[in-house]
Amino acid sequence: VTLTQRHHPLSRASSALLIRCSVCGIRRGTTGRMTANDAADAGVGRLVEEAARVGELARELQDSAANLFSRTWNEEQALRQRALALDSDLRRLQSSFDDAVRRGRITDTKDAEKLDEELYRARCLISEGDVGSLLPSKAYGRFLKMFLGPINVRATRKDVRLKVKEEYNKYRDRTAFMFLLFPSALLLLRVRIWNDCFPAWPVQLYQAWLLFLYTSLALRENILRVNGSDIRPWWIYHHYCAMLMSLVSLTWEIKGQPDCASKQKGVQLFLGWAVMQGFAMLLQNRYQRQRLYTRIALGKARRMDVVWGETAGVKGQLLVLYPILFILQGFEAYVGVKLLLIAMDGLVPEWQVVVSGFLLVLMAVGNFINTVQTLVAKLRFKAKMKRTKIKKELDSPLPENSRSDRSQ
């Protein structure tokens, strides 16, 4: 500006105008920045107010939920007391009825059947309905506590309990195919590829899968028992023994050449038994699932009941399943004895062979005893139903046509 003023006096006005414009621009920029800061402060204020409002709503919702749960808990405790009292009365009536039948105090068959039917309906309503969740559950046992800890696995809703049972049945269906295919593939590969001598790793992989299978089955069955299923304790203990045998077999050294056929005779027999077991499981699933649905529809079984090796009820099952089960149990005992003899002869003198043979014999004997007990109970039940049916036919009045025929 100074140079311009020195050479051009007329430019002083222009310079003054330029300075004034620059000052106005600075003021205008400062005003703009102040407006943005004010807007930011206003936005932060709105966020603070919104956060306070949300916090207040959260506190109100927490209070409402706490009041609801408190009322629900009080109502649940009242219903639980009523359910316990009703269950106690039902047990007392059932005991009195059984004692009266045993001593012959009830002579009228119709009254006995009516009373038994009423008691059965009451038991079904308590155990199968939502009332069952109010009753004390069965003891969890150490197995569940060891794997899951002290948590509650009892489902309060009936649909959840049925979902657990359906998932268990689907899992059994899937594992039945694997139980048949896995050992069959090993036996086939032994002949076609491995020159009649198993490598160690595929057999140990199969034993690891068996350990996983029996552990998962035992966990699911323990949870089902807690939720009201009727699985016999022996079949859970059977899976404990199978878990132990699989764990021991994982440490069993699979020896090869020389004399591979003699050293692996026990492995070959065990895989042959596993193929038979898989076939029997598939056959049981096919027969017994349809039979169980029929029994549930007729009121002879509960919806939480499951099928396993000891359950069979129709004539076709008596002619097909039970012979297969007895043959399977006999072959299982034979494999166990054979393993013990192999260990005694010194061919495979490891302690794992002795333990595996003993567990196989133990499981075979236990399966046989439980299968025979179930068969005898079913035959007695069928005989009782047959006698009741004959007595009803004798006590029922004759039709008019039959009376007229006899009079003629």
Is 332 a residue whose pLDDT tops 80?
A: yes
Cα 101 to Cα 97, 109, 144, 378: the distances in Å are 6, 10, 40, 20
Overall average pLDDT of the 401-406 stretch: 44
CA distance 309 to 281: 8
Computed over every residue of the chain, the mean pLDDT equals 75
Is 55 a residue whose pLDDT tops 60?
A: yes
For residue 393, what pLDDT is reported?
Answer: 54
- CA-wise closest residue to 254 among 292, 303, 306, 200: 200
Prediction pTM value? 0.68
Return the ∠ at Cα 336 (arms to 332 and 341), rounded to 5°: 145
Overall average pLDDT of the 62-89 stretch: 85
With cut-offs at 50, 70 and 90, classify the pLDDT of residue 250. confident
For residue 165, what pLDDT is reported?
Answer: 83
Is 10 a residue whose pLDDT tops 80?
A: no
Which range, 98-102, 147-151, 212-216, is most confident?
Answer: 212-216
Overall average pLDDT of the 203-226 stretch: 91
For residue 154, what pLDDT is reported?
Answer: 79
239 vs 86, residue with greater confidence:
239
Cα 96 to Cα 89, 90, 111, 123, 380: the distances in Å are 11, 10, 14, 15, 23
167 vs 3, residue with greater confidence:
167
Tokens for 252? 């069993």
Is 219 a residue whose pLDDT tops 50?
A: yes
45 vs 340, residue with greater confidence:
340
Length of the chain: 408
CA distance 308 to 274: 17
For residue 389, what pLDDT is reported?
Answer: 55
For residue 302, what pLDDT is reported?
Answer: 52
User: What are φ and ψ of residue 407, in 5° steps?
Assistant: -65, -35
For residue 241, what pLDDT is reported?
Answer: 93
With cut-offs at 50, 70 and 90, classify the pLDDT of residue 147. confident
Is 297 a residue whose pLDDT tops 80?
A: no
Residues 6+ apart with CB under 8 A from 200: 253, 254, 256
CA distance 73 to 348: 62
With cut-offs at 50, 70 and 90, classify the pLDDT of residue 226. confident
Is 13 a residue whose pLDDT tops 60?
A: no
Cα 43 to Cα 34, 35, 39, 50, 180: the distances in Å are 14, 12, 6, 10, 69
Burial class (CB in 10 A: 0-12, 13-18, 19+), 206: buried
Among 197-211, 228-242, 248-262, 264-278, the minimum mean pLDDT is found in 248-262
Q: What is the CB neighbour count within 10 angstroms for residue 332?
A: 23
For residue 292, what pLDDT is reported?
Answer: 56
For residue 158, what pLDDT is reported?
Answer: 76
For residue 291, what pLDDT is reported?
Answer: 58
The three-state DSSP-derived secondary structure of the chain is CHHHHHHCHHHHHHHHHHHHHHHHHHHHHHHHHHHHHHHHHHHHHHHHHHHHHHHHHHHHHHHHHHHHHHHHHHHHHHHHHHHHHHHHHHHHHHHHHHHHHHHCCCCCHHHHHHHHHHHHHHHHHHHHCHHHHHCCCCCCHHHHHHHHCCCCCCCCCHHHHHHHHHHHHHHHHHHHHHHHHHHHHHHHHHHHCCCCCCCHHHHHHHHHHHHHHHHHHHHHHHHHHHCCCCCCHHHHHHHHHHHHHHHHHHCCCCCCCCCHHHHCHHHHHHHHHHHHHHHHHHHHHHHHHHHHHHHHHHCCCCCCCCCCCCCCCCHHHHHHHHHHHHHHHHHHHHHHHHHHHHHHHCCCCCHHHHHHHHHHHHHHHHHHHHHHHHHHHHHHHHHHHHHHHHHHHHHCCCCHHHHHHHHC
79 vs 315, residue with greater confidence:
79
